[in-house]
Amino acid sequence: MPGQASLRAAQYYANPRNAFWPIMLAIIQRGEPSPDAVQAMTYPQRCALLTDSGYALWDVLASCYRPGSLDSNIRRNSERPNDILALAERHQELRRIVCNGRTAEKLLQRHCAASLARLTTPGRQLELLCLPSTSPAMASLTLAGKHQRWAEGLLG
């Protein structure tokens, strides 16, 4: 779920300390992560760059109760998942789901495992990939370390 800064701004990854936008812009533009490059673009421009490059943003949960911004504070009995099956059926080109951190992966497995299993057919393989959280709370990896792991995961 988006943190408080993102909810207030109505933008994914609005916290300037979150590494998502610097990492994704660097991967798409084949450069180094730069918070300045992020600030030079409007939110709609960043989203357009993602979609034009074949990426989309989607939350595992449609809603939940969580005091603060830490995913570890999500109240399990309040979790309401998004309909990943409907999303994937509308977008047959979807081949990979990337989770931004372990909590997103756990939520996806908890709420969507049966749907994900139905999406994999002989003609369609759906890969699930968990990458390190871009959150500033994930302080065990530097920006460069997160960028490296994301680039390896997304670009192969």
Residue that the structure tokens 């969507």 belong to: 112
pLDDT for the residue 116: 82
Residues 25-49 have a mean pLDDT of: 93
pLDDT for the residue 44: 97
DSSP-derived pairing of the beta strands 96-100 and 80-81: unpaired
Of the candidate ranges 5-19, 52-66, 108-122, 141-155, the one whose mean pLDDT is the lowest:
108-122
pLDDT for the residue 74: 86
Number of domains in the chain: 1
Of 71 and 18, which is predicted with more confidence? 18
114-144 tens-digit pLDDT: 888 888 888 888 889 999 999 998 999 999 9
Question: Do the Cβ atoms of 37 and 100 come closer than 8 Å?
Answer: no
Give the residue among 49, 53, 68, 50 at the shortest CA–CA distance from 7.
68
pLDDT for the residue 98: 94
The CATH number of the domain holding residue 120 is 3.40.470.10
Residues sharing a CB contact under 8 Å with residue 7, sequence separation 6 or more, in sequence order: none
Residues 17-43 have a mean pLDDT of: 94
Question: Do the Cβ atoms of 22 and 12 come closer than 8 Å?
Answer: no
| Residue 111 lies in domain | 4-155
pLDDT for the residue 66: 86
Give the residue among 45, 43, 80 at the shortest CA–CA distance from 60.
80
Residues 28-43 have a mean pLDDT of: 92
Q: State if pTM tops 0.75.
A: yes
61-114 tens-digit pLDDT: 999 888 887 777 889 899 999 998 899 889 988 889 999 999 999 999 999 988
